[in-house]
Chain A
Amino acid sequence: MIDNRLYKHPILPVEDRPTFKFYWNDQELIAREGETIASALFANGIRIFNYHHKDGAPQGIFCANGQCAQCLVLADGFPVKSCMELIKPGMRIQPVNGLPELPAVDPESPLVFEPIEELEVSVLIIGGGPAGLSAAIELGSRGVDCLLVDDKHRLGGKLVLQTHRFFGSVEAVYAGTRGIDIATRLENEVRKFSSVKIWLQSTALAVFSDRKVGILKEGKKYALVRPKILLVASGAREKSLAFPGNTLPGVYGAGAFQTLVNRDLVKPTERLFIVGGGNVGLIAGYHALQAGIQVVGLIEIMPECGGYKVHKDKLARLGVPILTSHTILSANGKEAVESVTVAKVDEKFQPIKGTEKTFACDTVLIAIGLDPVNEFYLKAKEFGLPAYAAGDAEEIAEASAAIFSGKIRGLEIARDLGVYSGEIPNSWYETAEILKSRPGKTYPESFPEKETGVFPVIHCLQEIPCNPCSAVCPRKLIEVDRSDIRKLPVYYEERDGKGCTGCERCVVFCPGLAITLVDYRRDAQFPEVTIPFEFLKEIINPGDEVSLVDVEGKFLTKAKVVSVKSIKGNDRTILVKVQVPKEIAKKVSGLRLQPEISPAEAQYTERMADEAIICRCERVTAGEIRKLIREGLRDINEIKTITRAGMGPCGAKTCTPLIHRLFREEGVPEKEIIDQPKRPLFIEVPLGVFAGLQEKQEKKEAEDERA
């Protein structure tokens, strides 16, 4: 029996939760309490959820975020998004084949309507992620009445998916703490304030011209909120990519992947391939390895990965092939992904014939960037409702930047409301800018000359906003420029006559896992090197032979593990000690986890080939749209009219950027393109919800029956 659940994780706690039966078609399967339907299916090895009504194409998970309808299934006869609905005991799940049937209802059944809840608040915050929570703390601490709505079952936004320690500034944004733990800290903080009301499982649906915001409250009721000020902290959505096979089950976003693995604790794949070398893709790769998933490769179309070098180096050291100047040609497979074909690109980003490689994999993650979810902000502005945006909804950046921008927006709103009369410190805006900054200059690696005693070797070579190392050294031997934390850390051999004691705190605390400790004290010829390691302790034991690598993953030597240390204060980071010849000791940065992966040669496939799907909701191909562009169409509304691209459940969220990309490929200037208007609703909601229809009676009966 297939069971893809994670029962152990190096970072995440795995609770022992009750299990129960459910059915997929007529097959009896086991679910764990708290799983979504999608996760329960993945846990049982099922990843084809339905067949599209237009062309019968198999469909699986795509956004895992309630935004599209790719994961539609029938749950006890009702069509539902399997990524958002929790599985219940005895539930009968079926794939949707073609159009679902609307469940029959006795036309004489009594109907009870309740009036739609309307309420006024000073501030409505959409999104309980890093930005929204930080803003709520600023406002709550000043007694401002706020309503914070979030569509998930718990607060924290994407922080709850982040197992790694955070970058940024220790003082400003909890750098050095793991994302999941920052979520808890922010949530605990915000819950202290009685003026902040929190609605979970509550999705903002629309900002209306009468300046009311429609909310699907707790997944089942409609409410209209009239705020004095709206704060949009709704985060980002992942950009999509068109290539043949781009809608096969197994092709999905890095965010969806992190949700399945780190929130729902299922292993949705055995062999993963990642497209995109930004932080999102790099971190997803790391999370996959932590969950025991093989990462067979990562490609980046640019000559360098756009994400932090420390993230890239981490992956490279663990044995993930990272191919820069490469693009995806196709995802291959009949009903689901079986392999991926990539090729090298020339300076115009065109694939070079003869450089194709195919990697066997079952999942392809698309992590090519994020777009702000800013439609509520734009609508509010259009309708004259005072509004702010914070975090990714304002500008795509790291979560640490989102925490800080939320804090600033919170105080700005407090000022607008007259509850804060001071100025917003200029230094706040400066810090915000620094936290948002993209990676800067990379320097060549240089090592301390000393070969005695004990000291850290800092393998941090790129300017990024980060300073935890400087905060943990008890002797203040590591310094990061306080006025600009993007500068590289500097190590001082001694301060006030006192040098490194080998306390290992810097090794443990560095979010980039970019500090090792070299200790010559016991054997100057074979010094001991301490390496940070964030994997399960049981996979590495003293005496094991490991392959040691330099900062970028180049093989140095094999060596035996001397000891493995895991102490409570390390917050789940393990320290692995090895002994190596002094010639390479300072170079050792990590150890390889994965065996070598070699791709197979492959056939050339045209990029953005005509069969690539642009609108996945309505199954509209690149070829259909390209033909219209070549006929001279420039109005996306007209393309929509003819092809239905953009008319599906996701509300043109996915296809619009892809259509723009097609225009670019066809050489059409952006200013000639006419966009389609954004209209409500943000997600599909049953008609009965808007009517205030009471369903209690029926639901209870259904539950009694099940019991």
Chain B
Amino acid sequence: MNGLNYDVIIIGAGSVGTPTALFLAQKGYKVLVVDRNPSPGQSSNKRAIGGLRATHSDPAKIKLCLRSLKIFSTWQETYGDDIEWYKGGYCFVAYREEEEKTLKEVIPLQKRHGLNIDWLEAEELRKLIPDLNPAGLRGGTFSPEDGHASPLLAIEAFYRQAKKAGAQFKFQEKVTGLTIEGGKIKGLVTDKGSYGAEVVINAAGAWAAEIARMAGMDVPVKPDSHEAAVTEPVQRFFEPMIVDIRPVKGSANYYFYQHATGQIIFCITPSPSIWGFDERETSEFLPMVSRRMIELMPRLKNIRVRRTWRGLYPMTPDGFPIVGWSREVQGFLLAVGMCGQGFMLGPGVGELLTRLVAKQPGPDDEEILSYLSPYRNFVSEEKLK
């Protein structure tokens, strides 16, 4: 034990931990980030496809993501790095009455919490995305201020700025235990050393439950896996992320967009979920997703798939993140269970965590935290997963 070396230690240099380190360091905190990987974002961040939206069905995620969007969209002018931000919007399409109803139902709440979103009828939608299959198209939501960026470039930018602001990073170190004295966190131990701090943030993504158990906490986070792919680049031919939430046999939904580089990036949600930590590629993904995508947008049939991969979604029982202080161990802060949305939530959550550490709550924080509380009953259900 080296004594209280840091103000805050963050476990995980991922989508959440890295921007959090930046904001804390900018506030003047002495921050250490510990990660078992050799460089930032090497677990789930780099497997994220890059979608950034505030189009959610609950006030907490809407508000956090609106902040994230602000940070992503102004990043280049503020810090200079190109993170391939592109304001293409999000479009949830509806080909059936059920989806039309689900999507329309949440629009008033979304608008109330500041989201710029509208329902577009089929004809308007086809003007926006001319290559959509018109057969049976009822319409869809369009939120023009959503977009996408490169998770890889973004985390590298957060990381570099965090280091510039004074945060320290220890890579290739695996946390083996938390140091707890008299119900208070005092630091942590890794396979290479021990570090002291009165605040430790669990931002360990898919491995968050394992870390929480070190504090004697049972946090209901368990990962399932989704596969994704990227194509060759072509000239831009559509703007928004397209999300189709129609469940069919084998998959709950899928989504794709054209990245700033011109590449199409896509992902599917298997149904039933595939639980566990397996990140190895399967033969089922491409035939399943390609057929759905081509049915929706026949023009995609000729685009060539370049690479596929599989990543983990740290899921919670109700599909909402878990953010807040531990009641059992003082100074232990949870920012876990992002349910596959760590990249879009990361900066917003990072600012929130910074306010929590600083004990300077914002006007909406109480409401946000009530939705994301580790001690909620986890019975509601996310409508726009």
Tell me the A residues contacting B by CB distance below 8 Å.
Answer: 53, 69, 78-79, 98-109, 111, 113, 116, 206, 208-210, 212, 214, 222, 224, 382-383, 633-635, 637-638, 640-642, 649, 651, 674, 679-681, 684-688, 690-693
- Min CB distance, A382 to chain B, in Å? 8
From A98, A103, A113, A679, contact of B302 by CB (8 A): A103
B309 engages A113 (CB within 8 Å)? no
Instruction: Known A-B contacts: A105-B131, A383-B280, A642-B153. Give 17 more (CB < 8 A).
Output: A105-B299, A105-B302, A107-B133, A111-B294, A208-B283, A214-B286, A635-B42, A638-B38, A640-B152, A641-B153, A679-B307, A686-B305, A687-B231, A687-B305, A688-B290, A691-B290, A693-B291
| Residue in chain A with minimal CB distance to B294 | A691
Contact of B237 with A209 in the complex, beta carbons under 8 Å: no
B301 at the interface (CB under 8 A from A): yes
Question: CA separation between A382 and B132, bound complex, in Å?
Answer: 40
Question: Are B298 and A111 in contact, with the CB atoms below 8 A?
Answer: yes
* Given the contacts A102-B234, A107-B134, A637-B42, A690 and B306 also touching, CB distance less than 8 Å: no
Q: How far is the CA of A173 from the CA of B298 in the complex (A)?
A: 51
A692 touches B291 (CB 8 A): yes
Closest approach, in angstroms, between the C-beta of B122 and any C-beta of chain A?
Answer: 12
By a CB distance below 8 angstroms, the chain B residues around A635 are 38-39, 42
User: Across chains A and B, which 8 residue pairs bring their CB atoms closest together, nearest first?
Assistant: A688-B301, A209-B280, A684-B304, A638-B39, A208-B283, A691-B290, A690-B290, A690-B286
Question: Which residue among B295, B298, B304, B309 has the maximum number of chain A CB atoms within 10 Å of its CB?
Answer: B304
Task: Find out whether the CB atom of A633 lies under 8 angstroms from the CB atom of B305.
Answer: no
Q: Does the CB pair A686–B302 fall under 8 Å?
A: yes
Judge if B156 is at the interface, Cβ distance under 8 Å.
yes
Can you list 9 contacts pairing A with B, beta carbon distance less than 8 Å? Answer: A79-B232, A99-B262, A113-B291, A210-B282, A214-B283, A638-B38, A641-B155, A688-B290, A690-B290
Q: How far is the CB of A640 from chain B (nearest CB, A)?
A: 8
Q: Is the CB of B294 within 8 A of A688?
A: yes
Contact surface of B with A, Cβ cutoff 8 Å: 38-42, 46, 130-135, 152-153, 155-156, 231-235, 237, 262, 278, 280-284, 286-287, 290-291, 293-295, 297-309
B126 to chain A, nearest CB (A): 8
CB-nearest residue of chain A relative to B126?
A107
The answer to whether A641 and B287 touch (CB under 8 A), given A107-B130, A209-B278, is: no
Contacts of B235 in A (CB 8 A): 98-102
Chain B residues with Cβ below 8 Å from A224 are: 283
Q: Are B156 and A206 in contact (CB under 8 A)?
A: no
Min C-beta distance of B194 to chain A, whole Å? 24
Q: Do A111 and B295 touch across chains, with their CB atoms under 8 A apart?
A: yes
Cβ of B152: which chain A residues have Cβ within 8 Å of it?
A: 640-641
Chain B residue nearest in CB terms to A652: B307
Contact A687–B233 (Cβ < 8 Å): no
Asked if A688 contacts B39 (CB within 8 A), the reply is: no
Task: Assess the A651–B282 pair: CB atoms within 8 A.
Answer: no
Q: Which residues of B contact A101 (CB under 8 A)?
A: 234-235, 237
Nearest CB of A to B226, in Å: 14
- A91 and B246 CA atoms in complex are apart in Å by 41
Bound-state Cα–Cα, A113 to B291, Å: 8
Q: Is the CB of A116 within 8 A of B287?
A: yes
Q: How far is the CA of A418 from the CA of B278 in the complex (A)?
A: 33
How far is it, in angstroms, between the C-alpha of A222 and the C-alpha of B130 when the chains are bound? 29
Residues in B whose Cβ lies below 8 Å from that of A116:
287
Min C-beta distance of B137 to chain A, whole Å: 10
CB of B134 within 8 A of CB of A53, answer no
A681 pairs with B305, CB closer than 8 A: yes
CB of A259, distance to nearest CB on chain B (Å): 22
With A113-B291, A642-B156, A679-B309 in contact, is A687–B301 under 8 Å at CB?
Answer: yes
Are B307 and A209 within 8 A (Cβ)? no
Indicate if the CB atoms of B290 and A687 lie closer than 8 Å: yes
Nearest CB of chain B from residue A209's CB, rounded to whole Å: 4
Do A685 and B298 touch across chains, with their CB atoms under 8 A apart?
no
Chain A residues with CB under 8 A of B134: 107-108
Smallest Cβ distance from A409 to chain B, in angstroms? Answer: 25
Which among A100, A635, A691 has the greatest number of chain B C-beta atoms within 10 A?
A691
User: B301 to A691, Cβ gap below 8 A?
Assistant: yes
CB-nearest residue of chain B relative to A382?
B280
Q: Which residue of A lies closest to B298 (CB)?
A: A105
Closest chain-A Cβ to B35's Cβ sits at a distance in Å of 11
Cβ of B305: which chain A residues have Cβ within 8 Å of it?
Answer: 681, 684-687, 690
**A107-B131, A688-B290 as given contacts; A209 in contact with B302, CB under 8 Å:** no
Known: A99-B262, A101-B234, A102-B234. A78 touches B281 (CB 8 A): no
Give the residues in chain A near B282, CB-CB below 8 Å: 208-210
Residues of B within 8 A of A691 (CB): 287, 290-291, 293-294, 301
Closest to A672 in B: B38
What CA separation (Å) do A107 and B130 show in the bound complex?
8
List the B residue with the shortest CB-CB distance to A113.
Answer: B291
Residues of B within 8 A of A78 (CB): 302
On chain A, the residues within 8 Å of B156 by CB distance are: 638, 641-642
CA distance A689 to B384 in the complex (A): 30
Q: Which residues of A contact B135 (CB under 8 A)?
A: 108
CA distance A446 to B233 in the complex (A): 63
Please determine whether B308 and A680 come into contact, CB atoms closer than 8 angstroms: yes
Is the pair A690, B280 in contact by a Cβ cutoff of 8 Å? no
Minimum distance in angstroms from B259 CB to a CB of chain A = 11
B255 to chain A, nearest CB (A): 15
Q: Chain B residues near A214 (CB, 8 Å)?
A: 283, 286
